[in-house]
Structure 1
Amino acid sequence: MASKTAVGVDIGGTGIKAGLVDLEKGVLLSDRIKVSTPEGAEPPDVLAAVKEVLGKLDVTDADIPLGVAFPAIVKSGRTLSAANVSQKWIGFEAEKFFEDGLGRDIHFANDADVAGIAEVRYGAAKGQAGLTILTTLGTGIGSALLYNGVLVPNSELGHVQRAKHGKDAEAFAAYSAMERDELSWEQWAERLQWYYSYIEFLFSPDLFVVGGGVSKHADQFLHLLDLRTPIVPAVHRNNAGIIGAAALALVTDAPELAQAETPLEAEPDSAAG
């Protein structure tokens, strides 16, 4: 019988979080444990911090599946980019590095992708047919593409370019840009209007889900956007990475094409385990 619990670890540029997750309900069964990401975020230091959060979580049973989310393009266990972490992660055998360092198997995936998994299994995109695009608005803009409940991994829609401006979308429209440029909600929404209209034109999605910490303020800006596509806030916010990483921890056969769900008509609990 598949496990009904798993551990999720969410590695970010500023913090590393972990928790024990109920895979049937998509909720934390433990406190959320967090430590600061080590300065420079080089591989040995990040591994030590992951060991620290797992030690504080006090879940040592290797039979409990473990999923790890990381802020990079992840393909076949290798990190191909580095967002707010050391450049040493580029082209690095990260999944094997963590497995060797932790002495156990893990499932390793991109952080925005696992947030998408959390929302399609347990949140705003559950049961949604067609194409759902989740975006996380924070220091940058992360994205996850989910088609009929199946993850298409490693999209980087925060890096679409603004013609003639020399900067990508996240430099212009991420939540950090609002803070940096001291924008009002209305002014920031004008930038988001450009971004979501452009993504809508490129992909014709059926649903936008907006995640990241700012999603708790969705009532301040989502109603200001004029789109053909429904746009809703994410449900899991700051816990999405933990929950999604744990949910994917049971997928071991195809880490770069991890299925978010069995077909949509299946019972939700059968997908969770």
Structure 2
Amino acid sequence: MEFQGLPSQNEGFVAFYNQNADALDRGHTLVPLNSRADIPGVPDNAPYYGTGRQGSPEVPSTNATRTASLVNNSGFSNFNSYLTDNGTEFSDIGFAFGQKEGQDFTKTWNLGADVIGENWFAEPDSPIEERIYSANSNDVELGLYNGTTKIIDFGYSDYYAVVDYGPTTSFQDDIESNFTDPITVNKVPNLSSFNQGLADAFVKDVSAAGNRVQIVNSFDGDDLFQRSGNGFDMFILPFPLELRVVRAVPEKSLTWALLMFGVLAAISRRKKVSNQVESKRFLSK
């Protein structure tokens, strides 16, 4: 199941941090090779917080209602049939990530004490940085929506980020991948009959394939822009995500190792393809 969150459609991901350079939630100074720390005049800190567009501290508010919208429903046959039989468009189905409505911006996923070796990992001779964002499970949500009605409440997970700053200091060759641990799927109570049927169809598909889902997304340096508001500076980013059904829940340390291996392999493959395309363009000139 694939979703796309485009800033141009008032969706997407917001990476933000305190404007006060001395504040803990400013975020640590970037360490990796070719990161923004190598660019004079550009903020050299890692974003301390992450939330969906609906939770953005932008001023004026965009009044966004979700992080991303459904664009591909392959693999969820019961859910797809329910949508089709009832004439419901994919675009009606949304995904939300961030602090719950009414919670302060600072309650969303964040870098905690922001300590190297605990909350983030990087070396100056490598372009890759790994981060672990966490939150109080009562303050945040991962949810599936029909319009503005939540139908599925996903369980809590830390949010892992892997940033590859690429072979140059340009934003254009940066790639970021994010993912969760396998998480539970829970129907929201007291739904209308239609939304109850929609939620049942989703749970049926997940139960048949593994009982857990994992959220994964990856995007490059294109289509980002900056905003400010409520004492924060922020990057507004596209949020293409995939909702995967998984069959087992390994030990957390093993999960981290396996997912990290897969993400870094995916980054490597994507960069090889990109380099091949650029080489072909150069040779054709």
Larger radius of gyration: 2
| Larger RCO (alpha carbons 8 Å, 6+ apart) | 1
Richer in strand (by share): 2
TM-score interval, normalised by the smaller of the two chains: under 0.3
Structure 1 length as normaliser, TM-score?
A: 0.26
Structure 2 length as normaliser, TM-score?
A: 0.25
Richer in helix (by share): 1
